[in-house]
């Protein structure tokens, strides 16, 4: 840490206390950063719905982590003979069983892993691609922009689900390919956002100032532009997670996503669809799970946006 | 000085002329590259797809030698680049070929199925806009109130619910249990013979021909899927309306309007909404485009004979002509809607009109 | 007096609009040179063209004896020439602390002794290290402009381009910043090229000034000439009258 | 909403139809349409499937050497178009099918008809006499059975010749149009949507009772059930066990069931070293929970059936020796040196009940340590792989091409050439099952003119395939139709093209 | 210029409080003054509460702000007690306000003419033709040379100076008795600034309005107004006639006057304002 002649004289609040975090004269990088995070957190925490969203997502993480402990039955092997299509509340089967005699609750619990896998992988693949394409295109402009945006446009002009369908059809159904297909169709909006945002910064004075420091374009993009796009991208990705879950479920529903006996929620709805009239729970339960989780992501993303970007929330 | 002035002027004029030409050129290039990109992508998907396209033509049970012969007839034994040339050449001459699945020219098929999708998406968007805009405005005006929270949650659920699931449940409720709506398809078989549609838009045709019983029937078919899509677009539209309205309401000209003594109603519905409408048309157009291309699942659930279902079916049968045609049409519509919303944006926003 | 910045016949065209139309200027080494003119007259454009933020189509630019063209500037140029912008709210990166803002130029140019330099720079602009880890939104306008100045000075440039450095600030704070700038110039023997629409500020800060209108330099006069009204252009007179406040009648 | 009295509305998955040209169509749904809209020389007797009944032909004789078949055409018959039906039309039908050489053409060409000799060997000697000459002394039952197939449906020569393009025998036109003489006319077909039949008033036999029959494409069982209960349709054709159970309580709905010539099986590719071991083949047959599957997944839509000939066909063997026996399977696996099990994949098309069975099999395999991973795919996709012999295990169904035991024997029990580039690629070839002995026996059965003896030969073949074959046949499909009570006379036939609509009426 | 009897505007102990995350912010802390038919200037540095004072008088403070005053009266009508609709009726008709930046304070999607007509139609029953005629004459009154053309222009199509004139026309078209001008020229060029001020000056003189002129430019205010109020941190620190500016007592006022660089004076360094904590108490 640097020497701090003036700061030392003032009474500094106890480290990590609320005052310390909220101090508008932080004395160290860490305090500044934590203070910033704390403010974001406070803004976030003011929004009850956002907290509900966060709670849902944490719950999802916990369920996924402790699936082995939580699920009362094997998610894959059922009891076709004795326990087929039992209604919710049947003995030993809280949410009932499906047509293979498998415990729906256990399948939902294990399915949370797949859901997480999908959203995390898609986010990891698509967001950085979009970020790089968008910032480079927006910052460099000219030919690079034209070419990159053409490619983006082509992907945008494709009907998203159809492209995903086509890709999955081409690569063969399966959760990995579904993830890949969703990722391939998800990055263009991120590129658009990152580009639009970059364009607003590109001619701003603080970027001009960095240029006048002699910074190379690469440095400007990496260290000055990207960090600015990241928060809106995080917000967007969080909000998109719901969409990703829905697309994955849609693919699963059309039989092109995760494959049996994997307890993917969309595929579960698809197989439950056949019993919707008499054994409604087979399709209703996984649909409900999807609804809750994507609602969680949406609430979280909404809250994040308000917290990270008060302007956009209209404050 | 005079000399350099004229040079500056000619230079300026040249730039201006070239910028207009550039604009056109850019537009043409955009459209062309997009279409070309669609061609390339569909072609390669069509080739790597692990379905033998021949099977789609000769059927599952064809003996081996028939399969082989058809393969050669289709030119599938040629090198890939040659196939691609043939493919591009045909596509450029407007010949999307024949759908092996329906044995009709793809173009004919699309002419038949696309109106179904348009009808559905249009009604959906209408529902979404007619309900979504007032809700969004209400939420923005009563920001932070219970009403705002309710609108917000309604919207978020719309974003979060798997549409096919909601579709299934609502079918069970409204069709199976309550019998309020009809299912499946666009029209009851009864009317297959008493009603002919000239435009492909059944509601419109029925009204035009004054066949109100048909109209009622078609309406009973379309209302549930359209409402679902409408809910989906309502979620999006209300949310965007809210955010645009919040933005407009915080502008100085709103203060100025208040300073003029205008009533809140006029300020909200006339001044703020009129300004929010500018970005809102883009949002609505995008959501419309989204419904046009994104109704695959809804069409599947409701056996709606539209483009989404057509493409999905074709895809699953490696009927690549049909997939290509459908995709290109959607791509073109997407580009078209973008241009249209751009135009609308220009007419709504005087700042983009130059005099 | 050797000229630090020399501009001949510079033309800058945006799309189809000539923002600078054959501008010629000479700024001597160690001189403080002012540029006045109404909004849109091309003042900022001139500074941006010098610093390489805008590309000029015609004419020549010589800085400390080296000529530059177009948009490209080498690292050595940025060690010589730095700029302070008009808007203290827009010229600081919104997500970086003061520390990070000042660190960046030092890293780019491979300075050593980084800690000391940052502390010194902050002291020099009268802020002290208590401000070191604040984000720009935790600073007032005047404080921000001080940071911007510190950032420009930390590379020890010879020439400082100032684009209306005080026009967004209150009069009382303007005085502080002007004093700070003068002090820095004296201490470091800097050359100033300062843009403002306020004749009072220019005449206070500069030895000579150019009056710009519609992308052209109307005239170049010594600052003293304003006081004695020894100038030829009618436009200059109008500017002068306007700067003296409202007169009924 | 109720359907009109004179219109029968059927909900059925008709998405497999790719053509309505009888010379080309080879799909199950198309078969039913052909059966209702076209007429053959002879028809399958729906009451006794070992016999045929006269169709367009009033009578026929078989020469003593069993090489020449002479048919007398009924007089004064008319096509729906109004054109008279003559022996020339019959000859044209044969010529056309052979020369078009589409998928089902082999049913005729297996009698030695070729493009070069067809005009000689299938010939109209006068307006009412048609003579067919075959190349070997086949069992006449076999030849006549083959003539009941759609490919031999009589087409309207005069009408088709108006629509010839590039010498295609009107094939391009007939794909979506109609040139027949059956009780119904095919009026309109919109793929994946609707197919409309209308009464043919020129039909010589008993006229259809309803004016119109509309097939509405619906894939989903639950959807069909909903529509049926709501009265939007009269007949639902693809109900699954759950829905069948549910409507059983509904008084407004009755069901009709008929076993069909389709068996569901999974097959073990002999190119896979593990699956090639006889013990493994046998072990896997013990690792299927036939009873549970029968009681649940296929309840009402199929019956456990382990031999390759469907029940009701000549020579069919009704013997189901295998049941789930994990201990036995383990023992067999141990004998094969795979006591710890092995990993294997199964290509599954994502339709029911195949998927359900695959999942069930996955669970029972696991009990003996066989780790089965399911590779699902769309029908065309798995089939592409299957045809290329790239699978480990394939699960699917096989429907008879024509109503004769040879149809199935030829594919399950004969493999003339197991090389990769073989000309004939029956199911045994697809699974690389090299069986020269059985191939010979299959050929011999074809030439046995005594029906009883011929049946015995097929029984023997079935036993052998059951014991040693790479096919684990699970069940035979029972086709079920759920019909609204006001519909009278709806009866499913024994084969796919005998689900006749003309006796159906509505109250 | 002051009137006898009740003043046009009476402000007594006006307080404007904003609830924020970190507690309440008092933007205006007990401001009192009266206004006759005269030009009153309010100066002060950024954030001193000038605008909030003006907006509180207009009733344009954001809804979550708390406004309290012992008396806030327009003539003898109590502004705080009257119903909202009545207050709204007053706005634009009797009291009007000009905002700082024409670029943001004109509705970008309406023509200038329509915006002026709108004010008129809100408060008076006039025919469209008459409204247009009056709008045109108002545009002429603010010295727009080609009113017919400008009437149909959109805000982005006119220069800042023109926009500000249009804004003035829009606010004055109903002939208000009180006009609040919140930094009406600070977004404009120095040369244009004076044009706009002289228009305002003329209108006030001709129509006998009361004017509150808000600015941070002490010199400008003192040369333009009759009386000046100096605000600091939400309070009035000094009130004096412009003519007596040189006699200002408060060190803040004096400091403000001193720290401006002017042509002809040679003060290096410039005197700076040394803020005393007690000023803000
Ligand atoms: N990036 C740009 N693209 C197009 N035109 C521009 C651009 N930057 C500036 N201009 C135009 O060039 C002209 C000169 O602009 P400049 O910013 O140099 O004016 P200025 O004298 O600094 O004005 P101000 O006092 O308002 O800052 C203006 O008319 C402006 O509209
Ligand atoms: N909506 C608000 N919420 C919280 N505080 C506010 C709000 N609006 C204004 N303030 C505070 O009120 C104080 C006075 O603001 P006001 O706009 O009146 O200042 P001003 O004197 O007009 O300054 P300027 O010259 O910058 O326009 C400021 O400190 C400001 O931070
Ligand atoms: Mg400038
Ligand atoms: Mg203000």
State the first-to-last Cα distance of chain D, in angstroms, to the nearest integer. Answer: 16
- Between CA E35 and CA E57 the distance in angstroms is 12
Pairing of strands D393-399, D343-349: parallel
CB contact under 8 A, D243 and A277: yes
- Between CA D117 and CA B42 the distance in angstroms is 44
pLDDT higher than threshold 50 for residue A4: no
Pairing of strands D235-236, D7-12: parallel
Ligand 2 test: best mutation among E42, E49, E57, most atoms within 8 Å of CB?
Answer: E49
Q: Write the pLDDT tens digit of every residue in A41-85.
A: 888 888 888 899 999 999 999 999 998 888 888 887 777 777 777
| Tokens representing residue D262 in the block | 């389709």
Which among D222, D297, D352 has CB closest to A276? D222
Give the up-direction half-sphere exposure of residue B168: CA atoms within 13 A in the CB hemisphere. Answer: 30
Query: What number of other Cβ atoms are within 10 A of residue B169's Cβ?
Result: 17
Shared domain check, A221 and A257: yes
Q: Is residue E49 within 6 Å of ligand 2 at its C-beta?
A: yes
CB contact under 8 A, B12 and C21: no
In this prediction, residue B22 carries a pLDDT of 61
* Cβ D17 vs Cβ D192: under 8 Å: no
Q: Is B164 on the interface with D (CB under 8 A)?
A: no
Q: Is B100 on the interface with D (CB under 8 A)?
A: yes
In this prediction, residue D253 carries a pLDDT of 92
- Tokens 């494409």 belong to which residue? D217
- Between CA B262 and CA B265 the distance in angstroms is 8
Shared domain check, A173 and A38: no
The residues, any chain, with a CB within 8 Å of residue B56's CB and separated by 6 or more, are B100, B101, B317, B318, B319, D18, D380
Average pLDDT over residues C202-215: 92
DSSP 8-state symbol, D84: B
| Tokens representing residue B139 in the block | 């939420």
* Cβ D212 vs Cβ D7: under 8 Å: yes
- Between CA A56 and CA A292 the distance in angstroms is 8
Q: Write the pLDDT tens digit of every residue in D292-351.
A: 888 888 888 888 989 999 888 888 888 888 888 889 888 888 988 888 888 998 988 877
Shared domain check, A122 and A271: yes
Q: Write the pLDDT tens digit of every residue in C150-180.
A: 999 999 999 999 999 988 888 888 999 999 9
In this prediction, residue B355 carries a pLDDT of 42
Q: Please report, for the domain that includes residue A217, its CATH number.
A: 1.10.3720.10
Whether the ω angle into residue D499 lies within 30 degrees of 0, i.e. cis, is no
- When the pLDDT of each residue in chain C is averaged and rounded to a whole number, the result is 89
- Tokens 């803004």 belong to which residue? A43
pLDDT higher than threshold 80 for residue C203: yes
In this prediction, residue A313 carries a pLDDT of 39
pLDDT higher than threshold 80 for residue A204: yes
CB contact under 8 A, B30 and A253: no
Shared domain check, A296 and A170: yes
Q: How confident is the model at residue C34 (pLDDT cuts 50, 70, 90)?
A: very high
Shared domain check, A145 and A27: no
Domain C3-243: top CATH class: alpha beta
Range of the domain at A293: 58-313
Q: Measure E129 CA to nearest chain C CA, in Å.
A: 35
pLDDT higher than threshold 90 for residue E42: yes
In this prediction, residue B26 carries a pLDDT of 67
Residue A91 lies in a domain: yes
SS3 for E187? Answer: coil
Residue A6 lies in a domain: no
In this prediction, residue A1 carries a pLDDT of 37
Q: What is D369-413 written as a DSSP string?
A: T-EEEEEEE-HHHHHHHHHTT--SEEEEEEE-SSSSHHHHHHHHS
Average pLDDT over residues E252-266: 84
Query: What percentage of chain A exceeds 70 in pLDDT?
Result: 93
The residues, any chain, with a CB within 8 Å of residue C117's CB and separated by 6 or more, are C102, C106, C111, C154
In this prediction, residue B222 carries a pLDDT of 92
Q: Which is more confidently placed, A280 or E5?
A: A280
In this prediction, residue B14 carries a pLDDT of 44
Residue A2 lies in a domain: no
In this prediction, residue C7 carries a pLDDT of 94
Shortest-distance Cα residue to atom 28 of ligand 1: C40
φ and ψ at D104, to 5 degrees? -85, 5
Residue D7's beta-bridge partner residues? D212
Alpha-carbon distances, residue C222 vs B69, C210, C230, C245, D95 (angstroms): 94, 9, 9, 23, 109
Residues of D in contact with A166 (CB under 8 A): none
Q: How confident is the model at residue A234 (pLDDT cuts 50, 70, 90)?
A: confident
Report the number of secondary-structure helices (H) and strands (E) in chain E. 10, 11
* Cβ D12 vs Cβ D195: under 8 Å: no
CB contact under 8 A, A314 and B331: no
Question: Phi-psi region for residue C128, left (φ > 0), alpha (ψ -120 to 50) or beta?
Answer: left
Residue A8 lies in a domain: no
* Cβ B314 vs Cβ B49: under 8 Å: no
Residue A250 lies in a domain: yes
From chain A residues 259-278, the ones with a CB under 8 A of any chain B CB are 266, 269, 273, 276-277
| Tokens representing residue A103 in the block | 């415990």
Q: What is B68-120 written as a DSSP string?
A: HHHHHHTTTTS-HHHHHHHHHHHHHTT---B-TTT-SBHHHHHHHHHHHHHHH
Q: Is residue E66 within 6 Å of ligand 2 at its C-beta?
A: no
Question: Tens of pLDDT along chain B (355 residues)?
Answer: 333 333 433 444 444 444 556 656 767 777 777 778 877 877 777 777 766 777 767 766 677 777 788 888 777 778 888 888 887 887 777 777 778 777 788 888 888 889 999 999 999 999 999 999 999 999 999 988 899 989 988 888 888 888 888 988 898 889 888 888 887 788 887 787 778 888 888 888 888 888 888 899 899 999 999 999 999 899 989 988 998 999 899 888 999 999 999 999 999 999 999 999 888 988 898 888 888 876 788 888 888 888 888 888 887 777 777 887 887 788 778 778 877 877 787 778 887 665 4
Q: Which residue of A has its CA nearest to D350?
A: A255
* Cβ D6 vs Cβ D212: under 8 Å: yes
Give the up-direction half-sphere exposure of residue A35: CA atoms within 13 A in the CB hemisphere. Answer: 23
Which among A24, A212, A228 has CB closest to C78? A212
CB contact under 8 A, A169 and B45: yes
Residue A100 lies in a domain: yes
Q: Is residue E50 within 6 Å of ligand 2 at its C-beta?
A: yes
Supply the ipTM of this predicted assembly. Answer: 0.81
Helix D326-335 vs helix D278-285: angle between axes, to the nearest 10 degrees?
170
Superfamily of domain E39-46+84-261+268-276: P-loop containing nucleotide triphosphate hydrolases (3.40.50.300)
φ and ψ at B83, to 5 degrees? -60, -40
DSSP collapsed to 3 states, D178-223: CCCCCCEEEEEEECCCEEEEEECCCCCCCCCCCCEEEEEECCCHHH
Q: What is the mean pLDDT of each run of 10 residues along chain D (507 residues)?
A: 84 85 85 91 84 88 90 90 91 91 84 88 89 88 88 91 87 90 90 88 89 88 86 89 86 89 89 88 90 86 89 85 89 88 86 85 88 78 81 87 86 86 82 89 86 88 89 90 91 86 89
Total number of domains in chain A: 2
Q: Write the pLDDT tens digit of every residue in A180-192.
A: 888 888 898 899 8
What's the C164 CA to ligand 3 centre distance in angstroms?
Answer: 7
Residue E33's beta-bridge partner residues? E11
Residues of B in contact with E91 (CB under 8 A): 258-261
Shared domain check, A275 and A219: yes
* Cβ A258 vs Cβ A267: under 8 Å: yes
């Amino acid at each position: 840490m640097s020497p701090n002649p003036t700061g030392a004289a003032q009474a500094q609040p106890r480290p990590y206390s609320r005052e310390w975090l909220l101090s508008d004269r932080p004395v160290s990088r860490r305090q500044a950063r934590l203070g910033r995070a704390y403010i974001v957190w406070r803004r976030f925490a003011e929004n009850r719905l956002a907290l509900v969203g966060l709670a849902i997502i944490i719950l999802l993480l916990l369920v996924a982590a402790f699936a082995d402990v939580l699920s009362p039955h094997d998610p894959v092997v059922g009891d076709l003979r004795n326990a087929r299509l039992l209604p919710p509340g049947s003995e030993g089967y809280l949410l009932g069983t499906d047509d293979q005699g498998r415990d729906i609750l256990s399948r939902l619990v294990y399915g949370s892993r797949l859901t997480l896998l999908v959203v995390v992988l898609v986010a990891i693949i698509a967001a950085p691609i979009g970020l790089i394409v968008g910032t480079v295109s927006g910052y460099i402009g000219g030919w690079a922009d034209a070419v990159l945006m053409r490619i983006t446009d082509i992907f945008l002009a494709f009907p998203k689900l159809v492209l995903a369908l086509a890709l999955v059809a081409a690569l063969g159904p399966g959760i990995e390919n579904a993830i890949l297909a969703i990722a391939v169709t998800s990055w263009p909006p991120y590129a658009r956002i990152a580009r639009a945002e970059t364009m607003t910064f590109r001619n701003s004075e603080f970027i001009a100032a960095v240029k006048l420091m002699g910074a190379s374009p690469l440095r400007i993009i990496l260290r000055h532009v990207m960090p600015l796009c990241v928060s809106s991208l995080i917000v967007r990705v969080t909000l998109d997670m719901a969409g990703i879950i829905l697309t994955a479920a849609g693919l699963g529903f059309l039989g092109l996503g995760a494959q049996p006996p994997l307890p993917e929620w969309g595929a579960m709805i698809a197989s439950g669809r056949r019993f919707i009239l008499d054994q409604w729970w087979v399709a209703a339960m996984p649909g409900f799970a999807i609804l809750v989780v994507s609602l969680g992501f949406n609430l979280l993303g909404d809250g994040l946006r308000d917290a990270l970007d008060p302007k956009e929330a209209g404050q | 000085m005079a000399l350099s002035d004229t040079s500056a002027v000619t230079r300026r004029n040249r730039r201006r002329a070239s910028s207009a030409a550039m604009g056109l050129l850019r537009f043409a290039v955009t459209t062309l590259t997009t279409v070309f990109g669609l061609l390339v992508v569909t072609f390669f998907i069509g080739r790597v797809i692990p379905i033998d396209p021949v099977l789609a033509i000769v059927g599952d049970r064809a003996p081996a030698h028939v399969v082989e012969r058809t393969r050669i007839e289709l030119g599938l034994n040629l090198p890939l680049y040659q196939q691609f040339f043939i493919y591009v050449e045909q596509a450029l001459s407007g010949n999307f070929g024949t759908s092996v699945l329906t044995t009709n020219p793809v173009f004919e098929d699309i002419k038949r199925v696309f109106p179904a999708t348009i009808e559905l998406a249009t009604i959906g968007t209408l529902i979404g806009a007619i309900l979504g805009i007032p809700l969004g405005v209400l939420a923005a005006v009563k920001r932070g109130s219970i009403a705002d929270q309710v609108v917000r949650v309604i919207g978020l659920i719309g974003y979060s619910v798997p549409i096919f699931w909601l579709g299934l449940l609502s079918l069970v409720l409204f069709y199976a249990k309550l019998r309020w709506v009809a299912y499946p398809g666009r029209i009851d078989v009864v009317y297959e013979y008493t009603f002919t549609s000239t435009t492909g838009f059944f509601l419109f045709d029925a009204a035009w021909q004054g066949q109100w019983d048909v109209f009622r029937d078609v309406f009973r078919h379309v209302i549930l899927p359209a409402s679902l899509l409408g809910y989906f677009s309502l979620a999006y539209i209300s949310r965007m309306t809210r955010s645009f309205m919040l933005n407009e309401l915080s502008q100085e000209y709103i203060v100025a309007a208040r300073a003029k003594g205008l009533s809140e109603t006029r300020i909200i519905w006339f001044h703020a909404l009129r300004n929010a409408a500018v970005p809102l048309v883009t949002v609505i157009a995008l959501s419309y485009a989204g419904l046009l291309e994104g109704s695959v699942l809804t069409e599947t659930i409701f056996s709606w004979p539209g483009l989404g279902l057509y493409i999905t079916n074709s895809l699953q049968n490696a009927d690549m002509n049909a997939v290509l045609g459908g995709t290109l049409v959607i791509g073109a519509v997407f580009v078209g809607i973008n241009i249209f919303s751009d135009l609308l944006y220009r007419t709504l926003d005087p700042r983009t009109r130059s005099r | 007096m050797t000229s630090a910045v020399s501009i001949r016949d510079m033309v800058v065209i945006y799309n189809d609009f000539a923002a600078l139309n054959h501008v010629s200027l000479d700024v001597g080494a160690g001189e403080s040179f002012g540029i006045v003119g109404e909004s849109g007259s091309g003042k900022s454009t001139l500074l941006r063209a010098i610093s390489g933020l805008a590309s000029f189509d015609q004419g020549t630019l010589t800085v400390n004896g080296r000529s530059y063209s177009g948009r490209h500037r080498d690292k050595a140029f940025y060690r010589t020439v730095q700029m302070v912008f008009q808007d203290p709210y827009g010229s600081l990166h919104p997500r970086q602390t003061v520390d990070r803002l000042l660190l960046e130029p030092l890293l780019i140019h491979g300075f050593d002794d980084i800690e000391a330099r940052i502390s010194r720079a902050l002291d020099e602009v009268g802020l002290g290290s208590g401000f070191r880890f604040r984000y720009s939104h935790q600073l007032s306008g005047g404080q921000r402009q001080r940071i911007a100045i510190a950032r420009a000075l930390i590379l020890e440039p010879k020439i400082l381009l100032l684009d209306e450095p005080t026009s967004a600030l209150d009069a009382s704070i303007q005085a502080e910043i002007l004093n700070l700038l003068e002090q820095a110039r004296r201490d470091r023997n800097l050359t100033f090229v300062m843009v403002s629409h306020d004749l009072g500020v220019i005449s206070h800060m500069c030895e000579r000034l150019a009056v710009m209108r519609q992308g052209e330099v109307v005239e170049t006069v010594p600052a003293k000439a304003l006081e004695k009204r020894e100038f030829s252009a009618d436009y200059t007179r109008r500017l002068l009258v306007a700067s003296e406040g409202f007169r009924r009648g | 909403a109720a359907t009109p009295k004179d219109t029968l509305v059927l909900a059925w998955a008709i998405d497999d139809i790719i053509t309505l040209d009888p010379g080309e169509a080879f799909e199950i749904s198309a078969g039913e349409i052909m059966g209702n809209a076209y007429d053959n020389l002879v028809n399958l007797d729906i009451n006794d499937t070992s016999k045929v009944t006269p169709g367009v032909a009033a009578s026929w004789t078989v020469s003593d050497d069993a090489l020449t078949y002479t048919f007398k055409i009924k007089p004064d018959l008319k096509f729906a178009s109004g054109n008279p039906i003559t022996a020339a039309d019959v000859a044209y039908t044969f010529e056309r099918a052979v020369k078009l050489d589409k998928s089902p053409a082999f049913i005729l060409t297996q009698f030695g008809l070729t493009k070069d000799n067809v005009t000689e060997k299938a010939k109209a000697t006068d307006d009412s006499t048609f003579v067919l000459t075959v190349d070997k002394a086949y069992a006449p039952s076999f030849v006549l059975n083959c003539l009941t197939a759609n490919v031999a449906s009589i087409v309207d020569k005069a009408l088709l010749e108006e629509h010839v393009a590039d010498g295609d025998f009107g094939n391009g036109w007939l794909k979506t149009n109609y040139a027949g003489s059956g009780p119904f006319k095919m009026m309109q077909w919109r793929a994946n949507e609707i197919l409309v039949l209308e009464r043919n008033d020129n039909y010589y036999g008993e006229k259809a009772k309803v004016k119109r029959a509309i097939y509405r494409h619906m894939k989903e069982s639950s959807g069909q059930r909903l529509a049926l209960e709501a009265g939007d349709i009269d007949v639902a054709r693809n109900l699954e066990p759950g829905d069948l159970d549910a409507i059983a309580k509904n008084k407004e709905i009755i069901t009709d069931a008929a076993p069909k010539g389709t068996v569901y099986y999974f097959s073990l590719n002999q190119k896979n070293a593990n699956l090639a071991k006889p013990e493994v083949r046998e072990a896997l047959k013990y690792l299927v929970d036939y009873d549970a599957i029968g009681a649940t997944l296929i309840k009402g839509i199929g019956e456990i059936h382990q031999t390759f000939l469907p029940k009701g066909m000549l020579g069919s063997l009704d013997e189901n020796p295998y049941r789930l026996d994990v201990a036995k399977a383990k023992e067999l696996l141990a004998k094969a040196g795979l006591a710890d099990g092995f990993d294997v994949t199964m290509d599954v098309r994502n339709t029911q009940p195949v998927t359900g069975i695959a999942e069930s099999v996955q669970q029972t395999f696991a009990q003996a340590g066989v780790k089965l991973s399911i590779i699902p795919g769309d029908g065309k996709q798995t089939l592409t792989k299957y045809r290329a012999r790239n699978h480990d295990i394939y699960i699917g169904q096989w429907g008879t091409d024509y109503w004769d035991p040879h149809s199935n024997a030829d594919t399950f029990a004969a493999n003339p050439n197991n090389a990769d580039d073989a000309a004939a690629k029956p199911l045994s070839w697809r699974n690389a099952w090299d069986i020269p002995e059985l191939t010979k026996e299959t050929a011999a059965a074809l030439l046995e003119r005594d029906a009883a003896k011929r049946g015995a030969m097929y029984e023997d073949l079935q036993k052998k395939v059951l014991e040693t074959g790479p096919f684990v046949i699970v069940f035979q499909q029972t086709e079920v139709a759920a019909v609204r009570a006001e519909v009278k006379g709806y009866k499913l036939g024994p084969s796919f093209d005998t689900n006749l609509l003309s006796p159906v009426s509505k109250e | 210029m002051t009137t006898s009897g009740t003043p046009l505007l009476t402000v007594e102990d006006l307080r404007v409080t904003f609830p924020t995350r970190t507690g309440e912010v008092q933007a205006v802390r007990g401001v009192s003054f009266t206004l006759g038919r005269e030009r009153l200037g309010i100066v002060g540095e950024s954030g001193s509460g000038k605008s909030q004072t003006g907006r509180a008088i207009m009733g344009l403070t954001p809804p979550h702000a708390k406004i309290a005053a012992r008396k806030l009266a327009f003539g003898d009508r109590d502004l705080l007690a009257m119903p909202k609709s009545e207050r709204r009726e007053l706005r634009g008709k009797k009291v009007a306000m000009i905002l700082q930046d024409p670029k943001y304070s004109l509705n970008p999607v309406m023509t200038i003419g329509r915006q002026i007509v709108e004010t008129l139609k809100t408060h008076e029953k006039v025919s469209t033709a008459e409204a247009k005629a009056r709008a045109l004459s108002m545009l002429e009154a603010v010295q727009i040379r080609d009113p017919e053309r400008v009437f149909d222009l959109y805000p982005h199509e006119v220069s800042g100076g023109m926009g500000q004139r249009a804004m003035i026309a829009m606010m004055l078209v109903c002939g208000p008795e009180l006009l609040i001008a919140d930094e009406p020229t600070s977004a404009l060029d120095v040369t244009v600034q004076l044009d706009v001020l002289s228009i305002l000056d003329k209108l006030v003189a001709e129509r006998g309005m009361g004017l509150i002129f808000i600015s941070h430019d002490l010199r400008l205010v003192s040369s333009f107004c009759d009386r000046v109020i100096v605000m600091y941190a939400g309070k009035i620190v000094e009130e004096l006639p412009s003519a007596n500016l040189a006699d200002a007592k408060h060190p803040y006022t004096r400091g403000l006057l001193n720290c401006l660089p002017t042509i002809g004076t040679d003060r290096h360094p410039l005197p700076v304002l040394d803020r005393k904590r007690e000023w803000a108490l």
